[in-house]
Amino acid sequence: MNIPMRLFFTLLFLSSNLLHAQNGAPVIQNFTASVNWPAQTLTLQYDVADPENDPLEIQVELSNDGGKTFAISNQIAVSGDVGFPVSPGTGRLISCDLNGLSGSGNFQVRLIALDRQPFDLQELVDAVDSTRLRADLEFVEGIRHATTGLTHLRAVRDSIENLFHELQMQTELQAFMNGNFAASNVVGSVPGISHADTVIIVDAHYDSVSNAPGADDNGSGTVGVWEVARLLSGYPAKKTLRYIGFDQEEAGLLGSIQYVSNGIPAHETIAGVLNFEMIGYYSEEPNSQTLPTGFNIFFPDVTAALAADQYRGNFITNVGQQALPQVADLFAASAATYVPDLKVHTVLEPAGFTLVDLRRSDHAPFWASQIPAIMITDGANFRNECYHTPGDTLNEKLNFTFMANVVKATLAAAAQLAEVQHGHWATANFAGTVGTTNLQRDCAVSAGAYPNGGRTPGLFFGECPIANLNIRVFNANGGLVHTEILDAPPRQEWYPLNTPALPAGIYFLNLQAAEGNHTLKVALF
């Protein structure tokens, strides 16, 4: 696998910071996939190293939707350097039999290497870098608004998308409209290796209000998502990890409403959402923290604790619900275990109540759909006097040690929710057509060359009342060489395709219609 330079340096950084760990994770490199279409065989080659030379468990997964899901993995038979145990080394080979598959499109194969060692989460938590958070925020800071900061809004959106691509995530833009403005949520996913339909989300909104550079609101949350994504994406997890940059939060949570309404596939269950909403403002000054009206009535214990500390703004607020407390409980426990220097106050919205001040960010639409979610926040206008003003800048106002500690606790919680494994993964792509299925039970179709010996492929039809037949021709290397649509049922038994004479060789004709999908092989001499 050719690792992108930005990701390579991230992995190099991680390895240098994990030298004293009890056990280093394996690393896959030079991963390639090649297909012999006539033999319907996929050959994988890879190198894999392990610092302790541990025996490895090697898994192969296959996707026919470009990496969104790996649901067809159980349809292929594999042999070679796969399973357990496989020794680390170079030039490892795996052969995959594609005869059990059907369909065509953009296939992705994923290789996973696990050393069956426990994951030292503290080591990864400690790799969160406050200097990198500051450098990222120096770029993100600036008005990010549809009318007063459109250029920078789009630049930040593009940076989120580019980072997700560099980290080899399944990346997509979810477009929606806010009036005449075309907005976009940026979604990056790493499908889980055993429970991919269970999803953990780490998110933040990346837009700002029209007059503020938005360093704390919510540039701090945006770069927090980047840091968690960088550090976790190199490791496989049992469940799917998804990172989202929401657009148009400041316009009324439009991005998260759009995602919850139209972006969650029916087969998925979201097991936890960790939403960053301003995580950088910190103060040890007495009375630097104020509280919403009525807060003392609903949360007397937290109010008493704040009063005892002279209302200093030196903590992060972990906002959840009593009805779905599991993520909030895990975040608090993760901070106590892995980041003891971070002070956390947890508030859970009481069952049967809707507290507006606890629903002012992108976790709220998830709550409305009974999805467990938390808001991780420094308190917004109840602490940061520069909230929604031109003064919301990073210089001398944000505390990057505090921000890094918040990110550490979030990373620890997300890793536990997703069940991150001690291993590595890599992907490779190929396109083409595999297998065969019938178009229609009583329809006999075969493929051949032009009857007089030419090198133009065609189809022989029996009694086939099939219309709107999509025909695609692939060469033996999986390359698409011709497409054609047969609008109406053929009038003659022999139907030559509208191709020039093709080079001699093996070709595959993929036929798709409402009745089904069929792949035929033809030899041209």
Compute the C-alpha angle 109/113/117, nearest 5°: 155
User: Going by DSSP bridges, is the β-strand pair 269-277/373-377 parallel, antiparallel, or unpaired?
Assistant: parallel
Compute the C-alpha angle 122/128/131, nearest 5°: 150
Name the CATH code of domain 437-524 (choices 3.20.20.140, 3.90.1150.10, 2.60.40.1220, 3.40.50.2000).
2.60.40.1220
As a whole number of angstroms, the distance between CA 434 and CA 63 comes to: 13
Q: Calculate what percentage of the chain has a pLDDT beyond 90.
A: 70
How does DSSP assign 460-487, residue by residue?
EESS----SEEEEEEETTS-EEEEEEE-
Q: Three-state secondary structure along 196-256?
A: EEEEEEEEEECCCCCCCCCHHHHHHHHHHHHHHHHHHCCCCECEEEEEEEECCCCCCCHHH
The token pair that represents 143 in the structure block: 């008005």
What is the model's pLDDT at position 441? 39
We find that the CATH architecture of domain 5-119+423-432 is: Sandwich (2.60)
C-beta separation of 178 from 253 below 8 A: no
For the chain, residues with pLDDT lower than 70 are: 1-21, 37-38, 102-105, 431-454, 460-466, 489-493, 515-518, 523, 525
C-beta separation of 388 from 209 below 8 A: yes
Query: Rounded to the nearest 5°, which phi and psi values hold at 451?
Result: -55, -30
Domain covering 121-285+317-418, topology: Aminopeptidase (3.40.630)
What is the model's pLDDT at position 236? 97
**CATH topology agreement for domains 5-119+423-432 and 121-285+317-418:** no
DSSP 281: B
Domain ranges of the chain: 5-119+423-432, 121-285+317-418, 437-524
- Measure the CA dihedral 303/308/313/319, to 10°: -30
* H/E element, 407: helix 400-418
Whole-model pTM: value is: 0.80
What is the model's pLDDT at position 445? 60
The token pair that represents 122 in the structure block: 């503290």
What is the model's pLDDT at position 449? 59
C-beta separation of 94 from 81 below 8 A: yes
What is the model's pLDDT at position 20? 41
Report how far apart the first and last C-alpha atoms of the chain are (Å, whole number).
37
The token pair that represents 500 in the structure block: 């020039």
Helices (H) and strands (E) in the chain, counts: 11, 23
CA proximity to 103, closest of 132, 72, 145:
72
